[in-house]
Chain A
Amino acid sequence: MIRGFLAAFGLVLLWQGFVWLTEVPPFLLPAPSRVALALLDRWDSIFNHALITASEILLGLALGALLGITTALVLVAWQEGRRWLLPLLLISQAIPVFAIAPLLTLWLGFGIASKVAMATLIIFFPVATAFYDGLRRTEPGMLDLAATMGASRFALLWRMRVPAALPSLASGLRVAAAVAPIGAVVGEWVGASAGLGYLMLHANGRSQTDVMFAALFVLMLMALALWFATDWLLRRAIPWQPDSLLTEKVTT
Chain B
Amino acid sequence: MLPRGLSLGGLPVLGALDLAVAAGRTTALLGPSGSGKSTLLRLVAGLLPVPAGGSVTATDGAPLPGRIAYMAQQDLLAPWRDVLGNITLGAHLRGEAPDLARARAMLAEVGLAPADSQKCPAQLSGGMRQRVALARTLMEDRPMVLMDEPFSAVDAPTRHRMQSLSARLLAGRTVLLVTHDPLEALRLADQIFVLTGAPAVPVAVPVPEGAPPRPAGDPALLAAQAALLERLSEAVA
Contact = CB atoms under 8 A, between A and B. Distances in A.
Interface string A210-243: 0000000000000000000000000000111010
B205 interface: no
Interface string B66-89: 101110101010111000000001
Interface stretch (A108-116, A158-166, A175-183): A158-166
Report, as a range, how many residues of chain A touch the other chain.
20 to 34
A141 B229 CA distance: 29
Given A149-B89, A159-B93, A144 B78 contact: no
B76 A145 contact: yes
Contacts, number: 61
A252 interface: no
Given A150-B66, A163-B78, A240-B80, A155 B95 contact: yes
Nearest to B82: A240
Given A159-B92, A240-B120, A148 B80 contact: no
A174 to B, nearest CB: 19
Nearest to A148: B70
A149 B74 contact: no
B93 A141 contact: no
B138 interface: no
Nearest to B75: A141
Nearest to B48: A144
Given A155-B93, A155-B94, A160-B93, A148 B45 contact: yes
Contacts of A24: none
Nearest to A151: B93
Given A139-B76, A164-B78, A240-B122, A144 B92 contact: no
Interface in A49-64: none
A7 interface: no
Contacts of A37: none
A141 B72 contact: yes
A146 interface: yes
A103 interface: no
Nearest to B79: A240
Interface of A: 139, 141-142, 144-152, 155-156, 159-160, 163-164, 166, 238-240, 242
Interface of B: 42, 45-47, 65-66, 68-70, 72, 74, 76, 78-80, 89-90, 92-95, 120-122, 140, 146
